[in-house]
Every structure is written in structure tokens, then in C-alpha cells.
């Protein structure tokens, strides 16, 4: 037996080792392993030869094939997956799918409050709390701008965090 026909002999019957990555390609390409033509097998084997240079472990490669095929289907749901198509985008398909997902993500606009809409800040989104050492103290409105993050790092390395709405209300009543 040459290097390509790896397997083992059980009794008098020769059993081939499972080729997980080949089976994975057949599965993700929606092919029937029993009905593959020579040219179809050849295309799968050529694609696997390229990928085995990147990942020698057959089982891990099969898992990567399934993962990359998932990203392919997310990007190109209307295009049939072939071994050459997947190997052609192997290094970039995951990042492209994530970029497409981010582009499709709906970002909710911040709520719009008119001047008459908020009794606390009159639409300015910030409230005046007073002065300290000659500096004005402002904070996000506890009613219409609670989610604003005004945290920052001070020069001395300490962190100023946005006060919670309860603290702001308490400071407003002083």
C-alpha cells in the first residue's frame, strides 16, 4: 500500500481510515459521496491538498471546513458552495461575514427630546449641578439622557465615572 492509501487491516479485510475533511467537503457542498464523479473527487482532493498545507490535522481541518462554509452561506446564500470557491476565500471569508453582519446591524438613534419635552433640562440633555473651586459642574440629565457616558481619566490617573441618575438628582437639590 502506498502513502495515499492509509488504512488498517482488520482480519483479512482492508479498512480505510476515515477522511473527515473529505467528508466535510462533500457535506458542505451538498454532494452525494456515493455518486461523485472522478472530476468531482479530483476537485475536492485538490482543494484539500491546498488546505492541508495550512492544517495537517484532518479532524481539525474538517471542523474548519464546516465553520468557513457557515460564513460562506452567510455571505453568499444564493451561490452554490464548491471546494474551489471555499478555498478561494479561505483566509478572508470569516472577516467578510463579520463585516457584513456589522453593516446589517441596526443602530437605534438616540431618543430625540425637544426643549418642551424634558422638564428637568429643557431639552439641553445636561443639568447644572453647581460650582466647585470655581469650576462649573454639569451632568447628563437623569430623565432624558441617563445612558450618556461622560467618564474620563484624570491627569493623576484616577477615573471619573458618570454619576448615576439618583446621585445627579440628589446633587441638583443641594
Query: Is the distance from CB of 140 to CB of 162 less than 8 angstroms?
Result: yes
pLDDT tens for 120-162 read 888 888 888 888 888 888 888 888 888 888 888 888 888 888 8
pLDDT tens for 19-57 read 999 999 999 999 999 999 999 999 999 999 999 999 999
pTM: 0.54
Element housing 138 (H / E): strand 135-140
User: How much is the pLDDT for 110?
Assistant: 65
User: How much is the pLDDT for 3?
Assistant: 45
CB atoms inside a 10 Å sphere around CB 123: 14
User: Which residue matches cell numbers 459521496?
Assistant: 33
Amino acid at each position: 500500500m502506498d502513502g495515499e492509501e492509509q488504512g488498517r487491516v482488520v482480519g483479512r479485510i482492508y479498512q480505510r481510515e476515515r477522511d473527515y475533511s473529505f467528508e466535510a467537503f462533500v457535506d458542505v457542498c451538498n454532494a452525494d459521496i456515493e455518486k461523485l464523479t472522478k472530476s468531482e473527487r479530483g476537485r475536492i482532493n485538490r482543494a484539500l491538498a491546498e488546505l492541508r498545507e495550512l492544517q495537517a490535522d484532518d479532524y481539525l481541518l474538517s471542523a474548519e471546513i464546516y465553520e468557513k462554509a457557515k460564513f460562506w452561506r452567510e455571505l453568499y446564500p444564493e451561490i452554490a458552495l464548491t471546494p474551489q470557491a471555499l478555498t478561494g476565500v479561505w483566509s478572508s471569508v470569516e472577516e467578510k461575514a463579520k463585516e457584513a453582519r456589522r453593516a446589517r446591524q441596526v443602530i437605534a438613534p438616540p431618543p430625540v427630546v425637544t426643549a418642551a419635552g424634558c422638564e428637568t433640562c429643557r431639552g439641553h440633555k445636561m443639568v447644572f449641578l453647581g460650582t466647585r473651586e470655581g469650576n462649573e459642574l454639569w451632568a447628563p440629565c437623569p430623565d432624558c439622557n441617563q445612558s450618556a457616558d461622560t467618564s474620563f481619566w484624570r491627569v493623576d490617573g484616577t477615573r471619573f465615572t458618570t454619576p448615576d441618575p439618583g446621585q445627579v438628582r440628589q446633587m441638583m437639590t443641594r
